[in-house]
Amino acid sequence: MTLTRDSAHALAARLEPIDRAFIDGAFSAASGGATFETINPATGQIIAKVAHCGTADVDRAVIAARRAFNDGAWSRAAPEFRKDVLLKLADLVRANAEEIAVLESIDSGKTVTDCLHEIGREVPNFFQWYGELADKSFGKVAPTGEQALALIVKEPAGVVGLVLPWNFPLLMAAWKMAPALAAGCSVLIKPAEQTPLSVLRLAELAQQAGVPDGVLNVLPGLGETTGQAIGRHPDIDIVSFTGSTEVGGYFLRYAGESNLKVVGLEMGGKSPFIVLDDADLTDDLIEHAAMSAFWNGGQNCSANMRQLVDASLAEEFAHRVTARAKAFVVGDPLDPATNIGAMVTQEHHNRVMGYVDRGSSEGARLLTGGAAGGPGYFIDPVVFAGLTPDMTIAREEIFGPVLGILPVRGIEEALKIACDTDYGLHATVFTRDIDRAIHMARRLPCGTISINGFSEGDVKTPFGGYKRSGSLARDNGTEAMDQYLQTKTIWISVARPAGT
């Protein structure tokens, strides 16, 4: 990284964030001129007043998206064209990564180091990978007798609404937008109200890369207005949502009360990090335990906050994880030396601190951490020991840097407690015994299981949740592209030619 603290601050001071919606290839104010404020969580200062899109703006974007879809300039184009545009977009994101990373950092409170990793490497990789997939996805021919030829073909599903969270603003946009565009769909994006700026900049780059007008629209706004208008729109075919389980449920209701659109959901979690009694408490294991909880300030749906550690190891584990937690540098997100930035809003900071108070009052032992000094919304990583499965902090998703250690006795108790949750997004298991690892992986009802290392996988591997963490839809991998494709059977009757 070439950014330093000073150069990142200098770049932040020069930024002129886009504050208008992107509809049908043009940036415009919301109808009626409504706006909302986006705030820098590290300072509490207003960065910009951004267009707040209402129903009329969503209607306008859907009309443009449908027109573009029916025109076919994108939806029916040769897949090589979509590939070329997405590869160009990947290059443009790489070329502008530092500027967008600084923008993302001031808008979200995430560290500039994390933002640069996501925006310089992961986001372009998504556009590249799905761009490459566009001309490498084949249909099928079903087995028939000679009297027929049965083709099974995939077609772009239509107009897609993507409703995003604030914890990985541009990365979540790329997770969904790259496969949807590669499939040939027209797309509307609603970024989270806390973090609209990087996605608006991405729209500008997408236009530069050659995405035709109307194919991509970005509608900043609030959930109850913009999000709901997308969820209820009668001419949107699919919604893909990442966020809370509660709001995921609203989208199912919106679909039921409008046009029965398909709804793909990626929601919350309360994921376990399981250390069986045969695991070696290496530095690597401790690093994974700490990062699985504190990466992105714990504002991560797959964060492993329930750390189920065999009772024989729990004391040493607690001691070493606490030491590691204390070593995180919390503070100015624009300083590359910082490991954990600010919580996304004051309200969220208060919510997380409410859980810390609850943990203490319900009898968990606070080993380290708590609210750090302002004016931004900072929290030093928190470690609790002595959790029991019924405690609030062992059951509810906190979405902040609050790790809880729960001692367990043996593999079956670990499995039972790990499964005792409404969620099923992710789990990590540490053991030296391959048979026990596979037993756990098969029995845990989660979308992703990491063995001997915390990981969400990568662009090639599907990501999503069991139970209340998700629907059958998956982000990432070829499975993500399937979400945005319809399947059509073309049955051709074949007569025997005369004279044969």
Which positions are annotated as active-site residues? Answer: 266, 301
Which range touches ligand NDP (CB under 6 A), out of 84-92, 188-196, 314-322, 401-409?
Answer: 188-196
Q: Which stretch binds ligand NDP (CB under 6 A): 66-74, 261-269, 408-416, 427-435?
A: 261-269
Short-list 27, 22, 30, 50, CA closest to 215: 22
Extended strands (E) in 34-130: 35-39, 46-51
The nearest distance, CB 272 to ligand NDP, in angstroms, is: 16
Distance from C-alpha of 473 to C-alpha of 85, rounded to nearest angstrom: 26
- Which of 182, 267, 446, 449 contacts ligand NDP by CB under 6 A? 267
Q: How far is the CB of 191 from ligand NDP (least distance, A)?
A: 7
Distances (CA, A) of 53 to 56, 167, 197, 201, 232: 8, 21, 14, 17, 15
Question: Which position among 397, 421, 423, 464 is part of the footprint of ligand NDP (CB under 6 A)?
Answer: 397
**Would you tell me how many other CB atoms lie within 10 Å of the CB of residue 427?**
29
Identify which of 264, 260, 240, 233 has the alpha carbon closest to the alpha carbon of residue 189: 240
Q: What residues contact 62, with CB distance under 8 A and at least 6 apart? A: 159, 188, 233, 235, 236
Q: Across-strand partners of 488?
A: 153
Distance from the Cα of residue 323 to its chain's centroid: 29
Looking at 52, 60, 88, 190, which residue binds ligand NDP (CB under 6 A)? 190
- Element counts in the chain: helices (H) and strands (E): 17, 21
**E strand or H helix at 265:** strand 262-266
By C-beta, is 190 or 288 nearer to ligand NDP?
A: 190
In whole angstroms, how close is the CB of 13 to ligand NDP at the nearest point? 26
Position 244 contacts ligand NDP (CB under 6 A): yes
Q: Minimal distance in Å, beta carbon 299 to ligand NDP?
A: 7
- Close Cβ partners of 473 (under 8 Å, ≥ 6 residues apart): 240, 264, 265, 266, 464, 483
Contact 473, 264 (CB under 8 A): yes
Q: Does 114 bind ligand NDP (CB under 6 A)?
A: no
Q: Determine if 291 is a binding residue for ligand NDP (CB under 6 A).
A: no
CA-to-CA distance for 351 and 260, rounded, in angstroms? 34
Question: Binding to ligand NDP by residue 268, rule CB under 6 A?
Answer: yes
Task: Find the binder of ligand NDP among 54, 131, 243, 477 (CB under 6 A).
Answer: 243
Query: Do strands 466-467 and 365-371 pair parallel, antiparallel, or not at all (unpaired)?
Result: unpaired
Place of tokens 């995180």: 328
**Binds ligand NDP (CB under 6 A): choice among 399, 430, 454, 484:** 399
Tell whether residue 51 is a contact of ligand NDP (CB under 6 A): no
Report the residue from 44, 223, 370, 386 that binds ligand NDP according to the rule CB under 6 A. 223
Stretch in the footprint of ligand NDP (CB under 6 A) among 21-29, 105-113, 136-144, 220-228? 220-228
Which of these ranges, 53-61, 131-139, 190-198, 409-417, lies near ligand NDP under the rule CB under 6 A? Answer: 190-198
Question: CA-CA distance, 357 to 370, in Å (whole number)?
Answer: 9
C-beta of 212 vs 227, nearer to ligand NDP: 227
**Segment interacting with ligand NDP (CB under 6 A) among 139-147, 162-170, 275-283, 290-298:** 162-170
Spatial strand order in the sheet of 485-493: 140-142, 148-156, 485-493
Pick one of 227, 369, 381, 401: the residue that binds ligand NDP (CB under 6 A).
227
| Residues contacting ligand NDP: total by CB under 6 A | 25
In whole angstroms, how close is the CB of 450 to ligand NDP at the nearest point?
A: 17
Both tokens assigned to 84: 């070329």
Site residues for ligand NDP per CB under 6 A: 163-167, 190, 192-193, 222-224, 227-228, 231, 242-244, 247, 250, 266-268, 301, 397, 399
